[in-house]
Amino acid sequence: MDQNSPMSPTLHKIGLTLCLALVAGTGCQPTQPFYFGEDGDLSHYVGVATEIDYPAVSEPTLSDAQYANAPLTLENANFEEFWEISLADAIKITLANSKVLRSLGGRIDTMSGISQPSEALLANPDALQTIYNPAIQESAPGYINGLMTGPEAALSAFDATFSSSLFWESFEDPINVNPAEAIVLELARVNVQDIVTFQSQIQKTNVAGGTSTISTTTTFDDNNNPRVLYGSSYRTDIKGEFRQPLLQGMGAEYNRIAGPFSNIAGIGTRMFDGVLIARIQTDRAITEFEAGVRNLVADVENTYWELYYAYRNLEARKVGLTSSLRTWQTVQAITRAGSIGGGKEREALAREQYFSFRAQTEQAKSDVFAAENRLRFLMGIAATDGRLIRPSDDPTMAKVTFDWGNILSESLARNVELRKQQWRIKQRELEVIAAKNHLLPRLDMVGSYRWLGFGHDLLGDNGPGPYPSAWNILFGGDFGESQLGVEMAMNIGFRAELSAVRNAQLLLTRSKAVLKEQELELSHLLADSVRQLARHYRLIETNFNRRVAAQAQVDTFQAKIDVGFGRNIEQLDLLLEAQRRLAEAEAEYYRSLVDYNKAIIQIQFHKLWMQQMLMPNLYQ
């Protein structure tokens, strides 16, 4: 063999040496154990390993967060203007600014009953609903980050795959042969050979679980064997083969549920990741997103009416504050004049009433700021921007009645939590079907046919001898190999497969039981909402009459004191009590009015009538 040829052993050695040098010269250098030099005080962990570092992120800070004004407080209660906003506009702004669906699930102020800022976004951001969640599940490439395979990734199991390889091998093998015999028989004492092999194939899995493969292999062999026809020759072939399951893993239904069978995944213990299961996971993600939108809209409506109540409560406390101040000033003037009915104890009583209303007013004013800030958070705008949001809509006072049978049937048919669980049941039903398929033995029909070609050259027809070119012989079709048969494999006992079937059946039974309990719970929640609706409407009427009566009491006692001065000052105790009752009646009236509208929201919440949730004026 010519040592100067492109495939000479010397060139092969040089190339291999360069590859080894390249591999040895790259990579990570091992670090010596740092604790060998420590004195036992764990100084490396304390001083180095626990050092805080900060990621270099180019994402700019949100302007509404970075440039927000100082929050409104009792000490800093100045703002430029009121922002009159309707409920529909508040919902519109919220949905426009809600790439991440916010939640008010936080602490509750026991004094005011207003929810405090939620820490869910900071503490557990990965668990929150976003507008991207359904698409993330749809595009999930596999079991990563808690997500099951998406539909596109599941369908990719049926894509055709192409693979190819090219290898060069060189041999210099001494042969154990007698030198004299080697001369007589013209045998080489050293076997020198270069082999170049090129392979490529396309494989496709069909929906019934079978696989079809078309492959080709071309081999160039250059050697010094004097007994061969050609010192250098080509061998090529084209091969077509198939494998089709006849029992286990057969059929479109199984493969759409579980995906094509894989020996690596195994039978009986594998997770089902077919396109039907993947589509169900996407449907569940869409349902979760729908529930998140529903929760967000309900939070906006409830917070909007809580802000309305905060304003009304503040006005009631201001009225009481003004009335108590007037009374205190009257008693103080009588006491200073020394008239009948005055006295330090009466002046102190009137003064205590004034400061009581002042404390209530300050609390109510702070509640307005807090409720307004909660609404701003839900709307996705700056905590403070110089404006104070004030609701422009009034809650409905009209009596709203629901037909129990209709709303119950709507709730059971449309509630998103029930629909999400129904998708889970559908998934479990499909898993039972696939698990039962694993109880069948593995019986595959296999077959192949290969066309062969051999020659001195790869192409052309000018080569010496009977085989001038490998391709000419190949396409002449004179040489071929074929195979057809069946293969069977099965576990004796099917213990893993039977356990998988029982497990799938138990999961299905559990999912159905959970659905029944959810339906029962939903009916109770809906019944309680209807009960609350009726109660709050009755309280509206009662508290309205109570407010009218309390106002009449205050007017009567105030008139007696204004007209009689000192002679009727004994009516002071009754006046102060009437002022307190009026403020409470005013607040309770608006409390019941707001709670009535929130009860309407709660019924729509359980029904998930999104048209009414998004356009609340329809039921006003």
Report pLDDT digits (tens) over 125-175. 777 888 998 998 898 887 766 677 889 988 988 999 999 999 999 888 887
Q: Give the Cα separation of 540 and 180 in Å (integer).
A: 122
Closest CA to 615 of 83, 84, 91: 91
Q: Give the Cα separation of 389 and 371 in Å (integer).
A: 10
Which pLDDT score, from 0 to 100, does residue 513 have?
A: 97
Q: Which residue bears the tokens 């077509």?
A: 240
Higher pLDDT, 105 or 266: 105
Helices (H), strands (E): how many in the chain?
Answer: 17, 8
Which pLDDT score, from 0 to 100, does residue 309 have?
A: 94
- Strand 161-174 relative to strand 190-205, pairing: antiparallel
The strand ranges marked E within 206-280 are 211-223, 232-245
The two three-digit tokens of residue 298, written as one number: 């309900």
Report pLDDT digits (tens) over 217-254. 999 999 888 778 888 899 999 999 999 999 998 999 99
Displacement of CA 100 from its chain's centroid (Å): 10
Closest CA to 421 of 514, 517, 283: 514
Q: Which residues pair with 172 in a beta bridge?
A: 192
Which pLDDT score, from 0 to 100, does residue 428 have?
A: 94
Q: Give the Cα separation of 582 and 546 in Å (integer).
A: 8
Average pLDDT, the chain: 83
Q: Which residue bears the tokens 């795959």?
A: 161
Q: Which residues pair with 217 in a beta bridge?
A: 199, 237
Adjacency order of strands within the sheet including 211-223: 161-174, 190-205, 211-223, 232-245, 442-455, 480-489
Q: Which residues pair with 161 in a beta bridge?
A: 203
- Strand 81-85 relative to strand 387-391, pairing: parallel
Element (H, E) at 501: helix 495-564
For residues 597 and 396, is the Cβ–Cβ distance under 8 A? yes
Which pLDDT score, from 0 to 100, does residue 6 have?
A: 44
Q: Is pLDDT above 60 for 379?
A: yes
Displacement of CA 540 from its chain's centroid (Å): 42
Percent of the chain with pLDDT over 90: 44
Closest CA to 244 of 438, 437, 444, 442: 444
Closest CA to 488 of 437, 447, 442, 440: 442
The two three-digit tokens of residue 490, written as one number: 């099965």
Q: Is pLDDT above 90 for 79?
A: no
Indicate the residue type of 561: I
Q: At what angle do helices 416-437 and 404-414 cross, to 10 degrees?
A: 40
Alpha helices by DSSP H, listed for 107-260, are 120-123, 133-138, 151-155, 179-184, 252-258
Closest CA to 588 of 532, 538, 530, 546: 546
Which pLDDT score, from 0 to 100, does residue 616 have?
A: 47
Q: At what angle do helices 275-337 and 572-607 cross, to 10 degrees?
A: 170
User: Is 197 in a helix, a strand, or coil?
Assistant: strand
User: Is 235 in a helix, a strand, or coil?
Assistant: strand
Which pLDDT score, from 0 to 100, does residue 268 have?
A: 43
Q: Give the Cα separation of 453 and 272 in Å (integer).
A: 44
The 8-class DSSP code of residue 35 comes to G
Q: Is pLDDT above 60 for 5?
A: no
Higher pLDDT, 47 or 390: 390
C-alpha distances in Å from residue 305, one per residue of 90, 299, 544, 591, 594: 12, 10, 18, 10, 6
Q: Give the Cα separation of 304 and 616 in Å (integer).
A: 12
Q: Which residues pair with 488 in a beta bridge?
A: 443
Q: Name which CATH class applies to 283-418+529-619.
A: mainly alpha
Report pLDDT digits (tens) over 488-528. 988 888 888 899 999 999 999 999 999 999 999 999 999 99
148, burial (CB in 10 Å: exposed 0-12, middle 13-18, buried 19+)? buried
First to last CA, the chain: 98
What is the pTM (predicted TM-score) of this model? Answer: 0.80
Which pLDDT score, from 0 to 100, does residue 118 have?
A: 61
Element (H, E) at 483: strand 480-489
pLDDT confidence tier of residue 269, bands split at 50, 70 and 90: very low
Displacement of CA 215 from its chain's centroid (Å): 43
Which pLDDT score, from 0 to 100, does residue 522 have?
A: 94
Displacement of CA 374 from its chain's centroid (Å): 24
For range 52-68, the mean pLDDT: 75
For range 597-619, the mean pLDDT: 68
Which pLDDT score, from 0 to 100, does residue 262 have?
A: 66
The two three-digit tokens of residue 573, written as one number: 């105790």
Q: Is pLDDT above 90 for 427?
A: yes
Domain span(s) for CATH 1.20.1600.10 in the chain = 283-418+529-619
Report pLDDT digits (tens) over 554-586. 888 777 766 655 455 566 777 788 888 888 899
- Other Cβ atoms less than 10 A from the Cβ of 312: the count is 20
Q: Is pLDDT above 80 for 280?
A: yes
Half-sphere exposure of 569 (CA within 13 A, CB side): 23
pLDDT confidence tier of residue 215, bands split at 50, 70 and 90: very high
Q: Give the Cα separation of 68 and 245 in Å (integer).
A: 66
pLDDT confidence tier of residue 353, bands split at 50, 70 and 90: confident
pLDDT confidence tier of residue 538, bands split at 50, 70 and 90: very high
Which pLDDT score, from 0 to 100, does residue 366 have?
A: 92
Which pLDDT score, from 0 to 100, does residue 144 have?
A: 64
